[in-house]
Amino acid sequence: MPSEPLLEVHDLHYAYLGRFPALAGVSLTVEAGEKLALLGANGCGKSTLLKVLDGLLFPDAGTYRAFGAEITETGLEDEQRNRGFRSRIGFIFQNSDAQVFSPTVREEVAFGPLTMGLDAAEVEARVHDTLAMLNIAPLAERAPYQLSGGEKKRVAIASVLAMNPEVLLFDEPTAALDPRTQGWLIELIVELNAAGKTIVLATHDLDTLPLLADRAVVFGEDHRLAATGPPDELLADHDLLLITNLALRRR
């Protein structure tokens, strides 16, 4: 299937507790190698969509296809398919504290490769390389509670990169980071994309948008997509940003 996009969702509906809609008919495709930003105000459905893309939530209605196969809850109960899907798509949560759950940094980074079933020597090698690549080798034996926010973010990213996924999902990657770490992370995302990784990120930070994405979709308050296009175009459309609560009304 050469023409099929990497990820594709069609007419997704999702409501929390069956009552509070988060997605109300969202359709979207993600092409291999692109940097796609999901733009929207708080509570519009970005994070929910990312969790659907990562196979953590399953839509009430609509379909999700990834890597040429439909992703369903029962489908992922198959160990082989679960392993295949999980190793090809990685998710960096907004809350690094929840993502970094292991006793030490080393064990955190080893967790994914180990559940993938790699042998111990290969896991060791991957952990070593990933820690070196993200400049956190000296933190290997540290406990998460001894890390700063920026360090935790690096560890969270390392724990996902160690699985070498094709697609990386970032939820609010630059939120609550100091400017230096923000700068580092933006560079890293660009580099990873240049190395062939597909990037999907949720953000409401308009300043960094042109750096982080070559395409963006805007969520409206009705939990549907309001617009799609290159970041520059969307940023120039002040009315769009106003109705989607992404910009303040100027005097």
Partner 1 sequence: MTATLPPAAPVPTARWLLEPQVGLCACAPSGRRRKGTYVTRTIDAAAGVVRAALFAEDAAAQPGLLQRLDARVKLVTLLGLLVAVSLVQQIPVLVVAYAATLVLAVLSKLPLGAFVRRVWLAIPLFTGIVVLPATLNLITKGHVVVPLGSWFGHRVGMTAPGLTGAARIVLRVATSVSVAVLLTTTTRWTRLLAALRALLVPRMFVLVLGVAYRYLFHLLGSVTDMYEARRARTVGAEDGRSGRAFVAASAGALFGKSHQLAEEVHQAMVARGYVGDARTLSAFRLRALDVAWIAVAVVAAGALVGLDRGL
Partner 2 sequence: MHIPDGYLSPATCAGLGAGMVPAWWAAGRRVRRVVTSRSVPLLALGSAFCFVVMMFNVPVPNGTTAHAAGGVLVAILLGPWAAVIAVSTALLIQALFFGDGGVLAYGANCFNLALVMPMVGYGTYRLAAGRSALTSRRRAVAAGVGGYVGINAGALCVAIELGLQPTLFHDAQGAPLYAPFHLSQTIPAVLGAHLLVAGVVELALTVGVLGYLQRANQPVLRLNPAHARLRHRPAAVDAEPEPASGQGARGGAAGPVRPGRGGGTGWRWALIGLAVMVLLTPLGLLAPGTAFGESSPRQLDLAAYHLDAVPHGLQRYAGFWHGALFDGYGFAGARHPTVAYLVSALVGTLVIGGVVLGLSALVGPRQRRRHGDAAGHPDDAADVDLRAAAGRVQDSGHPGGAPDVDLRAAADRVENSAHDAPAEAPDRDAAAAVPA
Q: Give me the residues that bind partner 1 (CB under 8 A), please.
A: 41-44, 51, 54-56, 79, 82-83, 86-87, 90-91, 93, 95, 97-99, 101-104, 106-107, 110-112, 114-116, 120, 123-124, 127, 141, 143-145, 159-160, 163, 221, 242, 245, 249
Task: Decide: 40 and 246 in contact? Cβ < 8 Å.
Answer: yes
> Residues 156, 157, 161, CA angle at the centre, nearest 5°?
125
Q: Which does 16 bind (CB under 5 to 8 A by kind): partner 1, partner 2, none?
A: partner 2
Instruction: Provide the mask over 175-214, with x wherever binding to partner 2 is found by CB under 8 A and - wherever it is not.
Output: -x--------------------------------------
- In the complex, the smallest distance separating the C-beta of residue 137 from partner 2, rounded to whole angstroms, is 26
**What sign results for the dihedral spanned by CA atoms 250, 216, 49, 181?**
negative
Task: Kindly tell me which of 180 and 249 has the beta carbon lying closer to partner 1.
Answer: 249
* Nearest CB to partner 2, comparing residues 23 and 155: 23
Indicate which single residue of 7, 47, 53, 91 sits in contact with partner 2 (rule: CB under 8 A). 47
Q: What length does the chain have?
A: 251
Distance CA(201)–CA(141), nearest Å, equals: 30
Provide, rounded to whole angstroms, the least separation between the CB of residue 22 and partner 2.
Answer: 6
Which pair of tokens denotes residue 129? 């390389």
Q: Could you give the CA distance from residue 77 to residue 53 in angstroms, rounded to a whole number?
A: 16
CB 89 within 8 A of CB 66: yes
Choosing among partner 1, partner 2, none, which partner's interface includes residue 171 (Cβ < 5 to 8 Å by kind)? partner 2
In angstroms, what is the minimal distance from the CB of 200 to partner 1?
14
Are the C-beta atoms of 226 and 216 separated by less than 8 Å?
Answer: no
Identity of residue 93? F
Q: What gap in Å lies between CA 49 and CA 27, rounded to an integer?
A: 10
Verify binding: residue 42, partner 2, rule CB under 8 A. Answer: yes
Determine, following the binding rule CB under 8 A, whether residue 91 of this chain makes contact with partner 2. Answer: no
- Cα gap 214→241, rounded to integer Å: 18
Quick one: what does residue 106 bind among partner 2, partner 1, none, with the CB cut-off 5 to 8 Å set by partner type?
partner 1
Q: Which is nearer to partner 1, 143 or 211 (CB)?
A: 143
The residue from 9, 38, 48, 154 that contacts partner 2 (CB under 8 A) is: 48
Cβ burial of 20 (10 Å; 0-12, 13-18, 19+) is exposed
Tokens read off for 115: 């559940």
Nearer Cβ to partner 2 (129/205): 205
Angle between helices 105-115 and 149-161 (to 10 degrees): 20
Interface residues with partner 2 (CB under 8 A) are: 16-20, 22, 42-48, 93-95, 101, 171-172, 176
